[in-house]
Amino acid sequence: MKIRSRIHATTANILLRLFPLFTPDKVYIARRTVLRHGTEIGSGTRINGAAFVRGNGSLLIGNYCAMGHDIRFITSNHEVGSVAMQYQLQCRLGLSPVYAGRRNIKIGHGVWIGDRVMVMPGVTVGNGAVIGAGAIVTKNVDAYSLVAGCPAHRIGDRFDGRVAAAIDSTAWWTWSEGRMKSASAFFGANFTALPVDDALQLIVEICGHTDHEAT
């Protein structure tokens, strides 16, 4: 789903005041979400509670992400070098509002973002990362890492590095649902609990060759 223009964003937001949105590519966006033009949401992603996108930059969200309630994405900031930082005052003075530049946000595939998270301008979140509820994300988040806190900091990793790399190499988020169903053992496995060698073997058996199977 792509919000290409201000008109498209306005139309979507009017509808979202009343109803959640469902798209043909199985995106779900909860009622009362506010979107901006320049937002792109990948297939299968679910925004399960009202989210808010603001700023002049773009927001790119990957496939099959899971998002909680009251999430904020901020894609630009005020220019703190200006004497007056209020945009309306600058306009009344005959000046153009000064922004601190567009700083796009990119969320990878298969990311889980908890309730009341705030993602700040310029942040990139890697595939498979988990962001704990209430976190304020001011820096990039590594793939398959666990972050939490204000500001968010790394508290761990979901998997052993070799397992994470093998999972990532499958690019499962590009598969059809038919292929996903046929690989149900892959999606049903607990890769945190499995020994590393067993996890790597399972990935190879179900998904085929990976670049990391021999490491």
Provide the annotated active-site residues: 78
What is the separation of C-alpha 187 from the centre of its chain, rounded to a whole number of angstroms? 20
User: Which residue in the block uniquely carries the two structure tokens 């204000």?
Assistant: 150
Asked whether the beta carbons of 156 and 146 are under 8 A apart, the reply is yes
Query: 62: which residues sit within 8 A by CB, 6+ positions away?
Result: 42, 45, 107, 108, 109, 110, 111, 127, 173
**CA dihedral defined by 164, 167, 171, 177, rounded to 10 degrees?**
-130
What does DSSP assign to residue 174?
G
